[in-house]
Amino acid sequence: MLQCLSAKRYSSIKLLINVWNCECLYKNIRNIHNVGLEDIPKITVTNIRKILRQKGFAVQDGFTSLISKCTLCSGEEKTSGSKIYINKATGYFLCPKCNIHGNWNILERLLKKTKGEAFIKEIRETSHKDFEKVQNDWQGVVNETISLSKLNETEMLDLCRLFEYPYHPETNKILADVRISPDHTILYFPLKNTLDNIVGYRKVQAGKEDESEHYGLHTAGLYSCKAPKVGRSDQAILVPTIQDVLYLAGHKVPGTLIWLTNCSLPPIVLPVLENYQKLCLWGDWDNMRAVAEKLGEDRCRFVRPTDGLVTATEAAIANLSLKTLVSEAKPAAHRSITTFAAIRDDVYAELTNIEKMKGIKWRRFPALTRLLGGHRRGELTVLTGPTGCGKTTLCAEMSLDLAQQGVNTLWGSFEIRNSRLARTMLQQFAGIPLEQNLQDFQKYADDFQKLPIYYLAFHGQQPIKIVMEAVEHARYMHDIAHVVIDNVQFMLGLADERDGDRYQRQDAVIAAFRTFATARHCHVTLVMHPRKERESEDLSTSSIFGSAKASQEADNVLIVQDKRLTAVRGKKYLQVAKNRYSGDLGIVPLDFDKDSLSYQPKKKNKAKQDEPDKLLNQCFEEFSVKESNYVSDFENKPYKQKEQKHRDVTSNGNSYLSDILHLNRTR
């Protein structure tokens, strides 16, 4: 009896500890990137211009911003260098001189308040401290490093070999403002704003070039340089690597050369490019069209691939003229009606980059990659399956896989809370049960927080207009490439409406996201419930709730078939029921691991993998002929022994005859 009470008491205490651990885990899912209604500006360009003029500020119209004078950074004086840039699409503002920046509602308050109030003073002090910290950090780097301009020719050649950079006699002049560590293994690239003030820096270590680190207000600045003795300040060429920059500088391509790593341009960095009349985008980015739209299509040009050579580095290695390719860059703007001559280069680019056009490969789901080819922008995917089959968990892991490869993702979770969704994705990211490994939570949470994943701060029923406004805002602010809506029925709250109204509203949602995916070159994944079917029947494209519009508009239809829920127990698998890109259909087995909340295929045990090989080797050893014993084995064969006996008999007979002949001669 006492043992039973003790066991019961122990289990109760253990349960309380587990509940407390889970609560701590939920509370520690913090700082997730939420996008809410308060983040969406309720302002237009006309209203911004009107408010500024009412306050006595003249307004200049730029490519991406409205430009006016800023008196916040210079006190009572209106200096000519104090300019404030206000983004036309979002109202986000920035003054490069005093580093004051923020959303439109902050600027509106600053304009309405008098200069002596505490609010303005606090904004100034905070901005000044941030900018001063960046300057002090960079000065510390300068004190501990040396400039590349101080290196001699031999040292510069060794440096280029170490970092695998193209060498040019004037490389140290091109990279004159870059700093290098005393052991020549780390480079520091300064990031500057539109006034050439350093607002951050990028740290690149030899052997880890793909893992560069950023410091300071790095999102507000870019690294740029020019070829020596080359003019033209109205043109800039944006490229993805520093190797491209050095090749362009070596070929004396006119204009400013800008190193843009991932083609992501938040509004705070757009003023850096405001003064250029012509922008040439040359790289292997898959969102060049969206970036050109943000920068202003009228001034953007695309350098198209030539014979499969996508980047400036590839073209330079093939001994092509980079000057000619830049001068022949094609406009980014498209008319409403076009001809094949206008899209001919786009077709050729697709044919010469087949693997890239297939999209980003899933690393956790190689079988899905073999069927779909990859995750492509501009497509609409519908994921459906019976209730409780794990649609959200599967979709979370698929999106996590892509986010780990740099795909900026926006999650709209209308069925479960963002904290619970983030906990699931964090555990999939860690690959271990976090409630049993709380000591490792901070490490995994810090790494997970760096992923480009954002969450809509909505839950339950929401009007489609508000949702689309938030999605459009997030796409512009964070360069979103993948939008996940889980799920459509919860977002619309269709439970209390008649069938006709429900179908009509759902069709409107699908049409809105279909248009968004195509026009904004962004992939959209819609999680949808199926209509009720018999347990014995498999789900199909016609099983999706609502009319046939969902399956018709979708480029991909994925169905979770869960045979574990039927009377005759079976397996769970993901069926590719529609694939507009290649037409390949098939199934992907799904085995769920409760510890990691993952459907990732388990790696086979190495010992089990080696068993067939061992068996095959044994067979070869048993039936193979060894060269070293081949002659001796042959000597021991029966037919060889018979031949030897025959030779012995013949030799004996010959000796007997020779003896008789010899005897006759002697007689």
**Which of 569, 603, 637 is a domain's end point?**
603
Q: Is residue 9 part of a domain?
A: no
Stronger pLDDT, 658 or 184, i.e. the higher one: 184
Of 555, 573, 603, the domain-final residue: 603
Query: Based on the domain organization, do 597 and 632 belong to the same domain?
Result: no
Average pLDDT, the chain: 81
CA nearest neighbour of 406 among 240, 564, 530, 242: 240
Higher-confidence position of 494 and 527: 527
pLDDT in tens, 503-516: 888 999 999 999 99
**Is the separation of the CB atoms in 91 and 52 below 8 Å?**
no
* Distant-in-sequence, close-in-space partners of 178: CB < 8 Å, separation ≥ 6: 147, 148, 187, 188, 189, 190
Of residues 80 and 448, which shows the higher confidence score?
A: 448
Task: Tell me the C-alpha distance between 399 and 482, whole Å.
Answer: 8
Average pLDDT, stretch 214-239? 86
pLDDT value, residue 334 = 59
In a domain, 359, yes or no: no
Which H or E run includes 484?
strand 482-486
Q: Is residue 268 part of a domain?
A: yes
Tell me if the bond preceding 487 is cis, omega within 30° of 0: yes
Three-class DSSP category at 261? coil
Structure tokens at 303: 């350098």
- CA atoms 82, 87, 93, 99: torsion sign: negative
pLDDT score of 562: 86
Q: Report helix, strand and coil shares of the chain as percent, to nearest 5.
A: 45, 15, 35
SS3 399: helix
- Rounded CA gap, 169 and 526, in Å? 54
Task: Specify whether the CB–CB gap between 91 and 65 falls below 8 A.
Answer: no
Q: Are residues 585 and 662 in the same domain?
A: no
Q: 584 vs 534, which has greater pLDDT?
A: 584
SS3 397: helix
What is the torsion angle, in degrees rounded to the nearest 10, for the CA atoms of residue 272, residue 275, residue 277 and residue 283?
Answer: -10
pLDDT in tens, 425-475: 999 999 999 999 999 999 999 999 999 999 998 888 888 999 999 999 999
Residue 129: pLDDT above 90? Answer: no
Domain contains 118 = no
Determine the Cα–Cα distance for residues 650 and 644; give it in Å rounded to an integer.
10
Instruction: Tell me, yes or no, whether 423 and 561 share the same domain.
Output: yes
Cα 92 to Cα 104: distance, rounded to the nearest angstrom: 5
> Do 403 and 530 lie in a common domain?
yes
The pLDDT value given to residue 344? 80
% of the chain exceeding 90 in pLDDT: 45
Kindly state whether residues 464 and 592 are assigned to the same domain.
yes
Q: What is the pTM for the complete model shown?
A: 0.75
Q: Are residues 246 and 169 in the same domain?
A: yes
Q: What is the SS3 assignment for 175? A: coil
Residue 210 covered by a domain: yes
Quick one: 529 and 461 in the same domain?
yes
- Give yes or no: residues 244 and 103 share one domain: no
Tell me how far the alpha carbon of residue 49 is from its chain's centroid: 37
What is the structure's pLDDT at 448?
A: 95
For residue 634, give both structure tokens. Answer: 């042959």
- Is residue 252 included in any domain, yes or no? yes
Question: Domain holding 530: CATH number?
Answer: 3.40.50.300
Domain limit, last residue, from 310, 331, 352: 331
pLDDT in tens, 488-499: 988 887 555 555
Number of independent structural domains in the chain: 4
Please report the pLDDT score of residue 34 as a whole number. 66
Do 420 and 527 share a domain, yes or no?
Answer: yes
Nearest-angstrom CA–CA distance, 516 and 525: 12
The 3-class SS string of 468-500 reads HHHHHHHHHHHCCCEEEEECHHHHHCCCCCCHH
Taking the CA atoms of residue 12, residue 16, residue 17 and residue 18 in that order, the dihedral angle to the nearest 10 degrees is: 100
**pLDDT beyond 80 at 245:** yes
Is 158 found in the same domain as 93? no
pLDDT interval class at 14 (50, 70, 90): very low
pLDDT for residue 494: 56
pLDDT of residue 185 exceeding 90, the answer is yes
Question: What DSSP character marks residue 69?
Answer: E
Residues 564 and 621 in one domain: no
pLDDT at 1 over 50: no
> Is there a domain that residue 360 lies in?
no
pLDDT reported for residue 603: 67
**Angle between the 391-403 and 418-430 helix axes, to the nearest 10 degrees?**
60
Q: Mapping DSSP to helix (H, G, I), strand (E, B) and coil, where does residue 253 land?
A: coil
The residue-averaged pLDDT of 570-577 equals: 89
Residue 350 inside a domain? The answer is no
Q: Give me the CATH number covering residue 322.
A: 3.40.1360.10
In sequence order, the β-bridge partners of residue 65 are: 87
Given this model, what pLDDT does residue 355 score? 85
Band the pLDDT of 21: cuts 50, 70, 90. very low
Domain membership of residue 654 as a residue range: 615-666
320 plus 410 within the same structural domain: no
